[in-house]
Structure 1
Amino acid sequence: MELPIPKSETSVGGSQTVDRALVVLKIIASANRPVPLEEVASRSDLHKSIAYRLLRSLENAGFIGRDPSVGGYTLAATFLSLSVLAVSRIDIRRQARPMMEEIVALHGETASLHVRSGDLRVCVDVVEGSHTVRRVVPIGETLPLYAGETGRVLMSDLSNTELDPLLAAAAKEGLNATRIRTDVSRTREQGYFMGIGIRTPDVGSISVPIYGAVGPLGAVTVSGPASRWSRAAMKKALPSILRNVKKVSLALGSKGPPGKA
C-alpha cells in the first residue's frame, strides 16, 4: 500500500512551490506504475489544480511524462538520464582507481581524475607518480573548466552554445580563446588531448575522457615533467593509456564514441 507523503514534507521551506514540486516528483518516482492526477493530489494533500500545475511544470522540464496507454504520470527520460549520470559519477572513483594505479605502474607518471562541476573542473582522485621528481596534483583542486589539458577534454563534448561563454571567460583571463577552440575541436576528433606547458610550464600531460551510459563523466590526466614525460614518451605510452581508460568507460556502461576511448 502506498502511503501519503508525511505532512512535514509538504511544509513550506525556502520555496513553497519547489517544496511541493519535489513532493510530487517523489510520489511519481516511488511508484512502479503510472500515477493519475487525482492520486497525486490526494497523496500530496494539494488541491487538484495546484497538483496539475506542478505536474505540467515537471512534464515541460522532461522529468515526468504521461502514459498514453493507461493514463497517469511516470518518470521521463531526463530524470532517468540524470539518475544514471549521478550514480555513474558516484561510481567513477571506484572504477577508475585501479586503472590509474595500473597507468602509474606502467609509466611512472602521476594520474589524476577530474570531473566537471558547472563552469569548473575538480580533481577528485590522484595516484602520484613513482619517480622522486613528479607532478603533484592536489585532490580537491578546482579550476576554471577551460584551464589546461584536462579542460580541453572536459569541454570537448559541449555544444557551441555551452562552449562560447567559457571561451569568452578565458579570453578575459588573457588566454588565447581561438587556440582553445582549436584544441577542443582536435580533442573531439582524436579522443584525447596531449600538450606540454598548456597550464603549467615544463609539464607534459595526456588527458582522456571517461564515458558512462549517458555520456562523458570526467577525464583522467597523466602528467609529469616534460624533460622525462616528453611528447615522444607520451606518444609511446598513449595506446596503453587509451586501452586502460576504455576499460573503465565500458565498466561504467558506455560503448564509447566511435574511434575514442
Structure 2
Amino acid sequence: MENVRSVERALELLDCFTEARKEIGLSELSRILDLPKATVLRLARTLENKGYLIQHDENHTYRLGPKVLGLGNVFLSNLDFRMVALPLMKDLRDRTQETVSMYIVIDKQRMCVQRVESHHTLQPAIHIGDYLPLDRGSAGKLLIVYRNIEPSIERMNPGEVKQILENGFAVSIEEREQGLSSISAPIYNNKGEVIAALSVSGSSFRFTEEKRKEYQKEIVETAHQISYQLGYLS
C-alpha cells in the first residue's frame, strides 16, 4: 500500500503545475501538498531523475520535464477530432493544392496536432508536435481572438480583432516567416467552444488576391464541416 500512496503523491505533485503556476519551489510544493519538505524533496528528485520534472539551476524551483510532453503527445495521438478532421483536411489539400494544418493552444503556444502536406516543393517546414508562437501567423492570431487569450489579445490591433471575428477567419501574409502566407478558420466542439484552428498555408507567391478569396471560402466551409461532425450545430 505504501508504494501505491507514493504513486498517488507523485501524481498529486505533478497536478500542482498549471498554466498560471509553471515553476514551483520546494516550500510551496510542501504547503500545497501538506507534506513535509523531506517527503516532497524525495518525490521531486525521483520525478526529476525520470524526466518528469526539471529543477531550475539558479532559484531551484521545479517545472515540468520532457517526459510530460511525451505523454501529452501520446494523448494527442488519440484525440478523436484529429481523426474526424483528417479526411476533410485531405480533401481541402486536394482542392487548394496547399498544406493544411490544425493547431491547438498549449501553454500559451500553438501546437500542430494534424497536418496534410502539399505536393509543392516549396512548403512550410512544420511537423505534427511542433510548437509555434501564438502572436505570429494566422492560426495563432485566430486562436488568440476566439479563445480570448490574455495578454496576447490586448497587444493586437483592435481593428484586426474585430475583422477576424466578423470575417470568421484570419489571414497572415509573411508575418511569421518571409515568403510564407496562411489563412485559418476556427473549429468548434459540441459545446460551441473553439478547440482548434484549421489553416491553409504555402508560398506567398501562390497566395494571390484571387487565390486568397478562394481559400478563405474553402477553409471556412471545411472548418464548419469538421465542427458539425464534432456536434456543433450553429
TM bucket, shorter chain: 0.5 to 0.7
1:247 and 1:17 map into 2 onto residues whose CA distance is 38
2:182 and 2:11 map into 1 onto residues whose CA distance is 47
Structure 1 counterpart SS, 2:103? strand
Match of residue 216 from structure 1: 194
- Picking from 131, 135, 155, the partner of 2:120 is 131
Root-mean-square deviation (CA), in Å?
2.9
- Contact persistence 1:195–1:231 (CA under 8 A): no
- Picking from 144, 149, 156, the partner of 2:145 is 156
Identity, % of aligned positions: 26
- Contact persistence 1:115–1:124 (CA under 8 A): yes
- Contact persistence 1:112–1:137 (CA under 8 A): no
The answer to whether residue 163 in structure 2 is matched with residue 186 in structure 1 is yes
**1:16-35 maps to which residues of 2 (within 5 A)?**
18=12
- Give 5+ residue unaligned stretches, structure 2: 14-74
Match of residue 32 from structure 1: none
Match of residue 223 from structure 2: 245
**CA apart distance, 1:118:** 2.6
Structure 2 counterpart SS, 1:222? strand
1:223 and 1:234 map into 2 onto residues whose CA distance is 10
Q: Which amino acid aligns with 1:11?
A: R
The answer to whether residue 121 in structure 2 is matched with residue 144 in structure 1 is no
**CA apart distance, 1:114:** 0.7
* CA offsets 1:218-255 (integer angstroms, 9 cap, x no match): 01110111111223211123222222221110000112
Q: Which amino acid aligns with 1:230?
A: T
**How many pairs are equivalent?**
172
1:11 and 1:219 map into 2 onto residues whose CA distance is 40
Query: Please, what TM-score do these two structures have when normalized by structure 2?
Result: 0.64
Structure 2 counterpart SS, 1:156? helix
CA distance change for structure 1 residues 211 and 10 in 2, over 3 Å: closer, same or farther?
A: same
**CA apart distance, 1:203:** 1.6
Match of residue 118 from structure 1: 107
Structure 1 counterpart SS, 2:150? helix
Match of residue 199 from structure 1: 176
1:115 and 1:122 map into 2 onto residues whose CA distance is 5
- Picking from 82, 85, 106, the partner of 1:93 is 82
Query: Please, which moves more after superposition, 211-220 or 131-140?
Result: 131-140
**CA apart distance, 1:14:** 6.1
2:10 and 2:174 map into 1 onto residues whose CA distance is 50
Q: Which amino acid aligns with 1:217?
A: I
**CA apart distance, 1:9:** 9.6
1:136 and 1:163 map into 2 onto residues whose CA distance is 28
- Give 5+ residue unaligned stretches, structure 1: 1-6, 20-85, 169-176, 257-261
